[in-house]
Structure 1
Amino acid sequence: MGCSVLLLASTVSSLGGLLFGYELGIISGGLLQLKTQFRLTCIQQEALVSSLLIGGLLSSLVGGGLIDRYGRRKSILLSNVLMLTGSLILLISSYPTLLCGRFTVGVSMCLSSMSCCIFVSELVTPERRGFLVTLYEAGITVGILVAYTMNYILFDLKMGWKWMFGLAVVPAMIQMVSICFLPSNTDRGICQDLITSMDTQEEGDSNKRTEYDIMSLFQQKDNMRSRSIVGLGLVLFQQFTGQPSVLFYASTIFHSAGFQNADSAVLATVGIGLVKVVATFTSMFFSDRVGRRPLLISGCCVMALCLTTIGLLSGQSLKDTQGPCNTEHAIGNRTGQSHFPFGNQTLLNATLDENNILQYSSDRKTLKPLELSPSAHQNVVNWIILVCMMTVVAAYSIGFGPMTWLLLSEIFPAPVRGRAFALTSCFNWSAHLLVAFTFLDVFNAAGLGGTFLMYGATSLVASVFFYFLLPETKGKTLDEIDKELRMNRFHHHAVCCTFIRPTPSRHRYQRVSCQQSI
């Protein structure tokens, strides 16, 4: 029975991740159609993208209390209902309903992400926790790949954006049916006794000795303040390294980097999705072998290198001087037709030049071709940018992607875990919203080069932060992690110290020197 419950719970979690990733990625291609049909300005595009994040932010404020009070299982069911509701609202053809639908979907995504990660982390043994919790991130990457693929398939279909948004109901329905078959005793994350009743009993006894509330997260008692700093560092650096920009504006980035029509830009995002899936599954298999710290720190270092390279090379991109807000470019589709949204004017079936690119002049009275002189050198630069972008995505998917939520599910005590997730999730969605809502304006002001140089510098700072502050949690039960953090016994460099190491008899500990532990 334990194995069947574990398999079903993992399926539920993976489907939650798939929905999360699908909704993150689908707007990348859908936005190309929506901005034409509804003649959206840059501010309106950013608002449409950010409405999902506003929903996630508000959900994070109340979601933790719901999870701790009503349980993980019921919270996932509620997220399914909200996902179905939001997806149906999105099928109505008006800009206000698009904002409302994306907002509702955002509420669902945030509640689901917190519930699924806590749900699985409390269900499994330490030896499997890294693998099974990162199944959620694997679901996200598969969802992003599916979204990018749907963007490409449905790109030329009239009203294709409705199909893009509507397809989310399929995994939502499957997840809702699946979770109904889980036994009710998993509702508060206590079915670990199906695997190891001794660990659950000890954790329960430990939890009774200490009561926590939301303010405990900011106090030094039991080292809670340090845990919160690490948790906030995880979610803030995750966003400020620019990953939301890659997900939401991938097509825009590639188009500005030199991919000369929307078709090739959207196809390039499919390659990004494939890389993300492969890298995430690689991280899944190594999280319990190599450890959380090496994967996260090395991922940040690789991101810093590649983001800086993109920043330095993109200055040679033909379009880096053309911001996405101050000059509108036509985006050719596979049939050779283009759509040019300019305020109240829409030019259809315009004559394209040999590069399928037209530029609308600043006086908005005449169309003139964008002067291009492609060379072999510039093509090489564009491909280097693409390879670096894929490497950034791979490094993120090995480090930040799975490790953030895995570590957040491990470092906080069970009684306050839901509220701790809510706190960190609130900062996560706030940072996500800030990056996504300002990306086009920052891009317009600093260019592709300046934007990515800023992301590269942030990644470097993140690697230093994690090197000095991040604990290693692999191979330990949640109760063992909590005990060591309460006693502040995590050390990772040679200083005079001691920490507690579990002996082979599972629940007994011995003091060893720091040199022995490294």
Structure 2
Amino acid sequence: MGHRPPVLLLCASVSLLGGLTFGYELAVISGALLPLQLDFGLSCLEQELLVGSLLLGALLASLVGGFLIDCYGRRRAILGSNVVLLAGSLILGLAGSLPWLLLGRSSVGFAISLSSMACCIYVSELVGPRQRGVLVSLYEVGITVGILFSYALNYVLAGSPWGWRHMFGWAAAPALLQSLGLLLLPADAQGTAAHQDLIPLQGGEASKPGLGKPRYTFLDLFKTLDSMRSRTVVGLGLVLFQQLTGQPNVLYYASTIFSSVGFHGGSSAVLASVGLGTVKVAATLTATGLVDRAGRRALLLSGCALMALSVSGIGLVSFAVSLDSGPSCLATSNATRQVDLPQSSGLLKGSSPPPVLRTGGDQGQLVLPATEGTKPHPVTTVSLGPALNAASPVSPGPILEHTLLCWSALVCMMVYVSAFSFGFGPGRRDLAGPQ
């Protein structure tokens, strides 16, 4: 019996760290996208590819993840996903061109999706029925804490020359800690509390190979027996509507959204994202405590209604305020992009400092820094608008009215993510999607 407390503690740590890594990788692009756009001169389409490449990797993992987990086991699948995540983080940290960024993001997406599937299954098998709900909820909490941690780190590193490289690299820390914890845990449930609970149910024969593991096919999900067809439709519908709410896009583009509605300057937009992450953590913890008392259906209905109201408020604010795309959609030509520099054709190899943005009035000018024997020379002149010029006017019209609209957008966004945590949070986590 002496082995149970360490197993329970390690399982809790593995679950929390797995969720933290998942949430961090989901949200880190929010703060990294603004400096990446300036360093690489990314167009709108390229930014969308960069953000979506994470989901492409996750889609691949969702298709082959079940086979890998069954073939190699839960623990090996998690350890393997951490290795892929470390490789992806290294590629992102050293990337000097868009293709390397896409490769790194796709690798990270594959890793966190596979780890998400394997982690909850593995932890559920190692502990008894009474602890399973708590440990799976820890994964939920870990996701929201990871989102908050990524936003906070984005704010701290916003002014660093290569801050976005550090943002991507820090994801390796929780993955390494989780791997160390996994090495101390058994490879399967044999001899653990969950396995011992099966012995009285199976008459002392729980150790027989294949016992308690009935085989099902994919078509069994659509049979009328035990209302499986209805359950499948409800489950798939919830997952579909969870993604159609648009909440993942809020996580990916939080800083960009805040910048467009008036939080000018990269640090201001990222700081607003930190507040968004803090509210999300608080809402998730509250929902975790209320889910068994209020009921999942009640929280789902109330959360959806509140989301509809808040997203309508965001739409009204966006209609009233003069949206400024700022640096999010610079259309730079091939002749003026950083990828033309010799140092930026691949992984980072002694690359020169990034172009410096000099602003004057409402115009912004990218200038290559001086090197030995050379003088600074402009690359191109682009109208960047007030989003990158803290001294410029925030927008036409009364300043007070504009400020109120900015804060109204922030409040609506906070209500939106809180309602999502109540409606689609604890007890309804999609293994392939964010919370």
TM-score range, shorter chain: 0.7 to 0.9
* Matched-pair contact (CA < 8 Å) for 1:141–1:280: yes
Pair 1:365–1:145, CA change in 2 (3 A): closer
1:393 aligns with 2:417: yes
Q: Where does 1:95-106 land on structure 2 (aligned, <5 Å)?
A: 95-106=98-109
1:381 aligns with 2:399: no
* Matched-pair contact (CA < 8 Å) for 1:340–1:348: no
1:288 aligns with 2:292: yes
1:15 aligns with 2:17: yes
CA deviation after TM superposition for structure 1 residue 136, in Å = 0.7
1:403 aligns with 2:427: yes
- Residue 166 of structure 2 is matched in structure 1 by 163
1:276 aligns with 2:300: no
2:74 and 2:38 map into 1 onto residues whose CA distance is: 41
* Matched-pair contact (CA < 8 Å) for 2:28–2:150: yes
Q: Letter of the aligned partner of 1:41 in structure 2?
A: S
- Residue 350 of structure 1 is matched in structure 2 by 358
1:256 aligns with 2:246: no
2:304 and 2:211 map into 1 onto residues whose CA distance is: 34
1:294 and 1:369 map into 2 onto residues whose CA distance is: 46
The alignment partner of 1:77 has SS state of: helix
Q: Letter of the aligned partner of 1:248 in structure 2?
A: Y
2:45 to 29, 43, 46: 43
- Residue 345 of structure 2 is matched in structure 1 by none
- Residue 297 of structure 1 is matched in structure 2 by 301
CA deviation after TM superposition for structure 1 residue 203, in Å = 13
* Matched-pair contact (CA < 8 Å) for 1:123–1:192: yes
What fraction of aligned residue pairs are identical, expressed as a percent?
48
Q: Letter of the aligned partner of 2:332 in structure 1?
A: F
Deviations 1:444-476 (A, max 9, x none): xxxxxxxxxxxxxxxxxxxxxxxxxxxxxxxxx
* Matched-pair contact (CA < 8 Å) for 2:189–2:195: no
Deviations 1:294-318 (A, max 9, x none): 2222222211111112112321112
CA deviation after TM superposition for structure 1 residue 380, in Å = 1.5
- Residue 503 of structure 1 is matched in structure 2 by none
2:396 and 2:80 map into 1 onto residues whose CA distance is: 52
Q: Letter of the aligned partner of 2:111 in structure 1?
A: S
2:310 and 2:145 map into 1 onto residues whose CA distance is: 23
CA deviation after TM superposition for structure 1 residue 260, in Å = 2.1
Pair 1:209–1:148, CA change in 2 (3 A): closer
CA deviation after TM superposition for structure 1 residue 141, in Å = 0.8
2:31 and 2:382 map into 1 onto residues whose CA distance is: 28
- Residue 372 of structure 1 is matched in structure 2 by 396
Q: Where does 1:132-143 land on structure 2 (aligned, <5 Å)?
A: 132-143=135-146
* Matched-pair contact (CA < 8 Å) for 2:287–2:426: yes
The alignment partner of 2:428 has SS state of: helix
1:185 aligns with 2:182: no
Pair 1:255–1:85, CA change in 2 (3 A): same
- Residue 110 of structure 1 is matched in structure 2 by 113
2:59 to 37, 57, 60: 57
* Matched-pair contact (CA < 8 Å) for 2:363–2:382: no
1:209 and 1:84 map into 2 onto residues whose CA distance is: 34
2:203 and 2:66 map into 1 onto residues whose CA distance is: 24
* Matched-pair contact (CA < 8 Å) for 2:287–2:425: no
- Residue 146 of structure 1 is matched in structure 2 by 149
The gaps in structure 2 that reach 5 residues or longer are 338-354, 366-379, 387-394
2:205 and 2:415 map into 1 onto residues whose CA distance is: 40
1:199 and 1:315 map into 2 onto residues whose CA distance is: 61
Task: State the Cα RMSD in Å.
Answer: 3.2
Deviations 1:239-297 (A, max 9, x none): 11011111000011111122122221111001011111111122222333333222222
1:209 and 1:115 map into 2 onto residues whose CA distance is: 17
- Residue 461 of structure 1 is matched in structure 2 by none
* Matched-pair contact (CA < 8 Å) for 1:82–1:105: yes
Pair 1:369–1:145, CA change in 2 (3 A): closer
CA deviation after TM superposition for structure 1 residue 216, in Å = 2.1
* Matched-pair contact (CA < 8 Å) for 1:19–1:168: yes
Q: Where does 1:72-87 land on structure 2 (aligned, <5 Å)?
A: 72-87=74-89
Deviations 1:41-84 (A, max 9, x none): 11111111111110000010010122234332221111111111
* Matched-pair contact (CA < 8 Å) for 2:220–2:228: yes
Pair 1:348–1:89, CA change in 2 (3 A): closer
TM-score, normalisation: structure 1:
0.68
2:300 and 2:127 map into 1 onto residues whose CA distance is: 22
* Matched-pair contact (CA < 8 Å) for 1:36–1:341: no
2:146 and 2:281 map into 1 onto residues whose CA distance is: 9
1:89 to 80, 91, 109: 91
CA deviation after TM superposition for structure 1 residue 366, in Å = 7.6
1:313 aligns with 2:317: yes
The gaps in structure 1 that reach 5 residues or longer are 332-338, 409-420, 433-518
Pair 1:308–1:190, CA change in 2 (3 A): farther
1:179 and 1:252 map into 2 onto residues whose CA distance is: 37
Q: Letter of the aligned partner of 1:212 in structure 2?
A: Y
> For structure 1, which segment, 285-294 or 234-243, has the greater mean C-alpha deviation from structure 2 after superposition?
285-294
CA deviation after TM superposition for structure 1 residue 12, in Å = 0.6
> For structure 1, which segment, 263-272 or 342-351, has the greater mean C-alpha deviation from structure 2 after superposition?
342-351
CA deviation after TM superposition for structure 1 residue 127, in Å = 4.5
CA deviation after TM superposition for structure 1 residue 382, in Å = 1.8
* Matched-pair contact (CA < 8 Å) for 2:17–2:175: yes
* Matched-pair contact (CA < 8 Å) for 2:77–2:114: yes
1:71 to 59, 69, 73: 73
Pair 1:75–1:366, CA change in 2 (3 A): closer
